[in-house]
Amino acid sequence: MIKKFIYLEWKAFIRSASFGKNLTMKIIIGFLMIYFSLIFIGMGVGAFYVLKDMKLEPLVTINKFLIYYFLFDLIIRLLLQSIPVLNIKPLLVLPFKKPTIVHFSLGKTVLSFFNWVHALFFIPFSVVLILNRYDVVGIVFWHLGIMAIIYINNFLNIILSNIDKLFVVFVVIILALAGAQYYKLFDITTFTTPFFQNFYDIEGVFLIPILVLIVLHAFTFKYFKKNLYLDAGLSVKQDIASTENLTWLNQFGTLGTFLKNDIKLIKRNKRSKTTIFMSFLFLFYGLIFFANSHQPAVMHIFAGIFVSGGFLFVFGQFVPSWDSSYYQLLMTQNVPYRGYITSKWWLIVIATFISTILASFYLFYGWEVYLTIVVGAIYNIGVNSHLVLLGGAFTKTPIDLSNAGGAFGDKKAFNVNAMLLSLPKILLPLALYSIGLYLNNKNLGLGLVAGAGVLGFIFRDKVFSLIEKRYKIEKYSTINAYKQKS
Amino acid sequence: MLINKKVKMCQFDNQIILSIRNLKSTIKMIQVNQLIKNYNGTTVLNIENLEIPKGQSFGLVGNNGAGKTTFFSLLLDLIQPSKGSIHNNNIQVNTSENWKSFTGSFLDESFLIGYLTPEEYFYFIGDLRNQNKADVDALLAQHEEFFNGEILKNKKYLRDLSKGNQKKVGIIATLIGNPEVIILDEPFANLDPTTVSRLKKIIKDLADNPNVTVLVSSHDLQHTVEVCDRIVALNKGEIVKDIKTSKETLQELESFFAV
């Protein structure tokens, strides 16, 4: 019976809209994945020697940070890891036993990227420990304990994903714990380090997380099975709708019509709401660079671009896929492509502008830092906004906005691939900025980047025509791709 | 002699009247030429020539896969023809977009914006068709009976409505802005019996308007015969019947589709 499921899954995978269409894209993503895997493995191998160099006991030090590692992992999962949904509804009335359906759904999550990615770090790390004459049995037990906790996170994510905005709670917990530790009020690691260390030191302690894992698995299984009804776990939550007219936008004509629609789109769909949250997080991205003098100066412009570009990267990336479910409607209405693209452009510009204003707290690090952010914003408005819209013509993965299912619904937003695809958009300003730095003139670098932005802004009519042409060429294949529901 | 002349005059008059009538009914709205659509070497639609005069109510019937939706999609420039062309009011649909301003259409639920309330959706379409809120409200008031109290002011988003209610919204939305061409794909499917008879009345009213050309496709021969002046049957992508509706039409069609 499991064979049949695997058959279905395989078909769903190879026949999805995003598969195979854009081979170059797949190859690039493949390379990036290998690249990041190598970094992880390198970290696993290197961590031991680096910590040793710093005269720290490697295993104890890692154990010290594990609590944060696991909490952080849980947040990332709550945000990003979608629960793989087997297309359950059609299976319910077929002669499948319910436990089989549930077992398979849960089994699928076990194979998720979010689980095996940790192995890339922990396996090399464990191997290096063994090579350095740590007790083999102890390390194996420690490793099993860690794995069990990773899988505990996996099942926690499944159970908790039904609760909205839960990750915020965990973010607060982490911030509180880290803050308390930093100010030496309360140090959680004094309790957790020995616990993790005991996996290694005392034989049998690792059975604790494994037991917890088994109990949790049983619980998840029961929970899933109990909810396997159309009006329970498989039901779609219905929101109480309120009509908003947003009449103040009427003065902008067609542009206003689309803006009105986009605002409702963002407000009323889980997926798009998450993008707003993500772009808010981007605001703080600069802290890594500006608060840290070890970072090379050239990375400042990198941060500058990202601080104001959050919305651009996480929302703009998916234009026009946001409208994928009713793309045919738009194509039959009296809508010039230009009006459509322009309204999306304005949305990005407004968001970039707001982000720039919100980012004014960077003035705390000096006006030069803020200037970098403003220059980044100019570049985002002038160049990157056009680039994402242009890229949108090739984005043919439909977004299922209405997906707000119950326990089994895939409600997670945001796709990791898209993030990686945005990398090229920052290489050009990086290059321009480094020219300035190379000539020992930081302001020249900023000037070059801003200049590129202004140029892009001046020629935006030309660029829009180009984008419009692209959209028209891609029209039919886009419509076709959007007809496939993911 | 005199009588003879009078008769001749009468004939002449009649001829004039006839030719005026012909002239009126031969203002072409939709003109299809040598239209072929292939998918991987299989021809799914092949229409040599089809003219739909202005004001006609045109019914398209056929089995699944006969090419009805393909034809409408081509007419709306949602897919590209492999060969040939379609003109909508003398505008070639895949080269100019000007036909969009006078064409209203509803093919399926993908024409609805799920996260809007029905009211918002109507106003959105209204905005795109240069209709202000009052115009849209007037139209909605006209069709209150059709909505049967299940659509407006119901605090529900379109995505949460039942299939039938979604269809009601889509159908009425095509009427916004008084389009001259209205295209409805399978409008009777998924509707309850009461709504079907109300919809028939709406389509008949539209058909009575000499400026509005209605194109309807359906599996249901009886409904189509009731509301359309002319019925074209498609089979495997080709026109197999083209009849002006009369008393015998239904029987003729039924015997055609009977195995």
Residue from the list A241, A332, A333 with its beta carbon closest to the beta carbon of B117: A241
What share of residues in chain A are helix, strand, coil (percent, to 5)?
75, 0, 25
Q: pLDDT digit string (tens) for B189-235?
A: 889 999 999 999 999 999 999 999 999 999 889 999 999 999 999 99
CA distance A241 to chain B (A): 4
| Set of chain B residues whose Cβ sits within 8 Å of the Cβ of A331 | 76-78
- pLDDT (0 to 100) of residue B71: 94
Q: Which residue of B has its CA nearest to A249?
A: B127
Q: What is the mean pLDDT of residues B94-123?
A: 90
Closest C-alpha among B106, B88, B20 to residue B52: B88
Question: Which residues, other chains included, contact A477 with Cβ-Cβ below 8 Å and sequence gap of 6+?
Answer: A396
- pLDDT (0 to 100) of residue B164: 92
| Set of chain B residues whose Cβ sits within 8 Å of the Cβ of A482 | 110
Least confident of A156-170, B17-31, B202-216: B17-31
Q: Which residue of B has its CA nearest to A340?
A: B128
Any A CB within 8 A of B156 CB: yes
Domains of chain B: 28-257 (3.40.50.300)
Asked if A479 and B129 come within 8 Å (Cβ–Cβ), the reply is no
Any B CB within 8 A of A236 CB: yes
Any B CB within 8 A of A271 CB: no
Asked if B78 and A332 come within 8 Å (Cβ–Cβ), the reply is yes
Q: What is the mean pLDDT of residues B61-83?
A: 92
| Set of chain B residues whose Cβ sits within 8 Å of the Cβ of A480 | 79
CA distance A98 to chain B (A): 28
- pLDDT (0 to 100) of residue B31: 94
- pLDDT (0 to 100) of residue A238: 65
As given in the structure block, the two tokens for residue B24 are: 């009126």
Residue from the list A242, A333, A401 with its beta carbon closest to the beta carbon of B114: A401
Any B CB within 8 A of A257 CB: yes
Q: What is the mean pLDDT of residues B171-188?
A: 94
Q: How many CB atoms lie within 10 A of CB A22?
A: 15
- pLDDT (0 to 100) of residue A19: 53
- The percent of residues in chain B predicted with pLDDT above 90, rounded, is 63
Q: How far apart are CA B91 and CA B95, in angstroms?
A: 8
- The percent of residues in chain A predicted with pLDDT above 70, rounded, is 86
The whole-model pTM stands at 0.72
Q: What is the mean pLDDT of residues A133-155?
A: 90
| Set of chain A residues whose Cβ sits within 8 Å of the Cβ of B132 | none
**pLDDT value at B254 more than 60:** yes
Angle at A225 between CA A221 and CA A227, to 5 degrees: 120
Least confident of A157-166, A297-306, A358-367: A157-166
Contact, A362 vs A369, CB < 8 A?
A: yes
| Set of chain A residues whose Cβ sits within 8 Å of the Cβ of B117 | 241-243
- Amino acid at position B93, single letter: V
Any B CB within 8 A of A331 CB: yes
Asked if B112 and A326 come within 8 Å (Cβ–Cβ), the reply is yes
- pLDDT (0 to 100) of residue B154: 85
Q: What is the mean pLDDT of residues A429-440?
A: 87
Residues 81-100 of B with CB under 8 A from A: 97, 100
* ipTM > 0.85, yes or no: no
- pLDDT (0 to 100) of residue B25: 52
Asked if A331 and B76 come within 8 Å (Cβ–Cβ), the reply is yes
Q: pLDDT digit string (tens) for A294-347?
A: 677 778 888 888 888 888 888 887 788 888 889 999 888 887 788 888 889 999
- pLDDT (0 to 100) of residue A380: 92
Q: Which residue of B has its CA nearest to A242?
A: B155
The four Cα atoms B58, B61, B67, B70 give a dihedral, to 10 degrees, of 40
Contact, B56 vs B206, CB < 8 A?
A: no
Beta pairing partners, B85: B33
Residue from the list A239, A334, A335 with its beta carbon closest to the beta carbon of B157: A239
Q: How far apart are CA A394 and CA A383, in angstroms?
A: 18
Tokens 């220059």 map to which residue?
A: A375
CA distance B218 to chain A (A): 20
- Which stretches does DSSP call E strand in B57-144? 57-62, 83-88, 91-92, 103-106
Any B CB within 8 A of A264 CB: yes
Q: Which residue of A has its CA nearest to B120?
A: A243
Any A CB within 8 A of B180 CB: no
Residue from the list A254, A265, A335 with its beta carbon closest to the beta carbon of B115: A265
Please provide the average confidence, as pLDDT, over all residues in chain A: 81
Per-residue confidence band for A410, with pLDDT thresholds at 50, 70 and 90: very low
Asked if A328 and B115 come within 8 Å (Cβ–Cβ), the reply is no
**pLDDT value at A482 more than 70:** yes
Q: pLDDT digit string (tens) for A371-384?
A: 999 999 999 999 89
- Which stretches does DSSP call E strand in B149-237? 181-185, 213-218, 230-235
Residue from the list A269, A332, A335 with its beta carbon closest to the beta carbon of B115: A269
Asked if B110 and A242 come within 8 Å (Cβ–Cβ), the reply is no
- pLDDT (0 to 100) of residue B213: 95
| Set of chain B residues whose Cβ sits within 8 Å of the Cβ of A328 | 78, 107, 110-111
CA distance B137 to chain A (A): 14
Residue from the list B79, B110, B123 with its beta carbon closest to the beta carbon of A325: B110
- pLDDT (0 to 100) of residue B1: 47
Asked if B128 and A333 come within 8 Å (Cβ–Cβ), the reply is yes
Boundaries of every domain in chain A: 2-226, 247-483
Q: How far apart are CA A168 and CA A274, in angstroms?
A: 12
Name the residue with higher pLDDT: B3 or B240. B240
- Between helix B118-128 and helix B133-142 the angle, nearest 10°, is 120
Asked if A257 and B128 come within 8 Å (Cβ–Cβ), the reply is yes
- pLDDT (0 to 100) of residue A306: 87
- pLDDT (0 to 100) of residue B188: 93
Beta pairing partners, B216: B59, B184
Residues 377-416 of A with CB under 8 A from B: 401-402
Q: How far apart are CA A434 and CA A446, in angstroms?
A: 9
Closest C-alpha among B60, B84, B29, B98 to residue B220: B60
- Find which of B108, B112, B115 to mutate to test the A interface (most A CBs within 10 Å of its CB): B115
Any B CB within 8 A of A325 CB: yes
Per-residue confidence band for A408, with pLDDT thresholds at 50, 70 and 90: very low
- pLDDT (0 to 100) of residue A404: 38
